[in-house]
Chain A
C-alpha cells in the first residue's frame, strides 16, 4: 500500500482511493438514515394531524385521576400524569435495584456451589440452574404471585415473626421509623461510621503491608457502622420511634385486618416480582460466575494452596478477583435484562413504569409520547448501567506492570 502510493501518487484517482470511497459510502449512509428519520417523523406528525389525534406534551400536566398501590413519593388521584409516570419510574428503579442485589447474591452463591466438591451441593445448584433458566419468566412471575396469594393467610389473618414482621395476603408489614427532630444526627453518625471504617481498612492494609500485623478490620467496621448510630440514638434522647402495623380484630369484617397506611406495607406484587426476577436472573448469573471461576487457571489455586492459604481465602483473594474480569461484561447484560424484564410487572398489578405509563396512555391516547418516554427511560437506564459496569470493569481489569 505505502509503496503503491509512494511510487505512483498521480494514479491515486479519487474513484479508486479506498479512503475516499469509504468516506463516500459512510456519508451516503448517514444522509439516508437522516432522511429516513425525517420521513418517519414528518409522516407521523402529518398522519396524526390528519386523523385528528391530539399530540404534544401538554397532557403531562393534566390531572391523572387514578390511584396506585405503591408510590415512593407523595402521589394522589389529583396529581398530574407526569407525576404518575414518575411514580412508575421510581417503582421500576426500586424493583430493578432490589432485584439486581438479590440476583447477584443468589447467583454468586449458586455459581460457587455449582463447583463445590460436595456432590449434593453441586447437583442441587445444577438442578436449580437448569430448572429456573428454562422456564419463561412470565410463568415464573405468575407462579410466585399466585403461589404467594394462595398459600399465605388472608386479609383477616396473619403470620407474625417476633410480633414485628407480619405477612398476609395484603403484603409484608413492617414497623415504620418515625423520625423526630434530632434524628438527623443518626444519619450523620451513620455516614461518619462508613467513612471511618473506610479509613480504618486503608490504614490496616498499609500497616499489614509494612509490618505484617493483621487488624480485625471487619469487626471494627461493624462496630463503627452500627455502633456510632446506636450511641447517637441513645445520646440524642431516642428521637426515632417505630410505628407498628395495627391489626384490628374486632368490628365489622371488612375493618378487620391491617389498617391502611400504618407502618410499612410491602405489597405482594412487589414481593412476587422481585422473587421471580432475582431467582430467574440468578440462574444466568450462576453460570456466568461458574464460567468466570473456571476461566482462572487451576495453577492459581494450586499456587495459593502451596503458599498455605486455605480454601476460603484462596477463593476470596486469588480466584474471584481474577474471575471478575471474565464475569463483569456478561454480568452487565444480565443486569440490563433484569431491568428491562421488570416491565412484565404489568401482568401482576405492580405499578411500574410500563403499567403507569400504559394507564396514562389509555386515558390520554398519547401513544407516541408515552412510548417515547418508555424508550428513553429504558435506554438511559441501560446506558447508565453499562457505563457504570464498564467503569468498574476497567478498574478490575488486569493492570500489567
Chain B
C-alpha cells in the first residue's frame, strides 16, 4: 500500500509542477491524450465493477463515459484507475486521474481542505449495517458489544465511531484496506456487523457465500451524498463534470432517452432544444461542441437509464429509486436548468 502511495506523492511533488508550469488545463490535457483517466473503486457491483474481460460498468463508470461522450463524442474514450479509499484523493490531487467517480462522500473538509471540488451528487446514500439473520438483531441499537468490520480511510469509520459513542455502546472496530478482505473476514465470522454505505452493503452482499443469511438493518446513520470529484482551480473542467451530471438528470426530466434522442431533436420544447444543442450555444460555453448533451444521452443514456441498468430493481442489487428519484417524483435529484 505504501508502495503505491509513495510514487503518487512524489508525483504530486514533481508531476504536478509540469502540468501547472505548462499552464495546460485539464480539458487540453485530456484532449491531447485522447481519453479521460477516471478514478474508480476496486470493484463495487453496480457502481464500478470490471467484468471478466476488464470492461468496467456501473453508475459511477457511466459518469466517466458520459464525460468522455461530452468531450470526444465517444463514450469509450475512458481509461480506468482502480483506487482504494486511501489512495483516491492523492491520485486526483497529483493528476494521476482527471476525475474521481468512486462513490465518494461529499463532506465539508474534503471540499475545502483537499484542493478538490465536488461536481454534484449522482447517488444519495447513507451508512447502514448488515448482520447475520441468526443473530436475532432487528435494530442497530441492539449492537452493543459487537465487533464491526469496515474499510479504512472512509467516512464510514468516523460515522460508526460517532454512532456507537452517541448511543453509549461499546464496540470493536476491525478496519481493512480493501473491501474484498472486509467481505472475507465478515463472511468468516470475524465480525458480527458489516458497515458501509447502504448501497455498498447490497452490492457486497452478493459476494457472500450465502447472501440470503444476511440482512441489512433499518437504521441509516449518516448522510452520504456520493458524487464525482475534480481538482480545484480548473473551472472549465469543473463545469464539464458538473454539467455532464446535470445533463443526464435534465434529460430524464425532459423525457429524453438514448432511444428517442434523435426524434427529440425535432421537438418543439425549447428546453429539449437547448439540451440537445438545437438552440443556443451551451456546449461552447463549457468549451465543448454544442451537441455535447446529445452525445451523452445518445451513447450513455439519461440518469434513469443508467440507474436502472446498473443498480435498479431489475439488477441483482435491486435498489429502488427512493430518494434518488427526480425532485418532481418525490426524490432529491434536482438539476439546474440549461438556459
Contact = CB atoms under 8 A, between A and B. Distances in A.
Asked if A and B are interacting partners, one says yes
Contacts of B90: 361, 367
Interface in A322-354: 343, 346-349, 351, 354
A69 B173 CA distance: 6
Contacts of B165: 77
A67 B177 contact: no
A44 B233 CA distance: 17
Contact of A53 (B93, B109, B172): B93
Contacts of B74: none
Contact of A374 (B2, B12, B86): B2
A154 B189 contact: yes
B34 interface: no
A149 interface: yes
Nearest to A340: B2
A354 B84 CA distance: 14
A354 B173 CA distance: 17
B20 A47 contact: yes
Contacts of B160: 67
A374 B271 CA distance: 55
A150 B9 CA distance: 38
Contacts, number: 164
A295 interface: no
A52 interface: yes
Interface residues of A, number: 51
Q: Is the interface of A mostly helix, strand, loop or mixed?
A: helix
Interface in A142-194: 146, 149-150, 154-155, 169-170
A77 B135 contact: no
Task: Report the interface size class on chain B.
Answer: 35 or more
Contacts of A50: 20, 233
24 contacts: A40-B14, A47-B17, A52-B115, A67-B161, A67-B173, A68-B175, A77-B165, A149-B185, A155-B147, A170-B190, A252-B137, A253-B134, A254-B135, A254-B142, A260-B170, A269-B174, A346-B1, A351-B175, A358-B5, A358-B152, A363-B109, A363-B158, A368-B9, A371-B5
Interface of A: 40, 43-44, 47-48, 50-54, 65-69, 77, 146, 149-150, 154-155, 169-170, 252-255, 259-261, 268-269, 343, 346-349, 351, 354-355, 358-359, 361-365, 367-368, 371, 374
Give the 5 A-B CB pairs with smallest separation, nearest first.
A362-B153, A51-B115, A365-B114, A149-B188, A53-B115
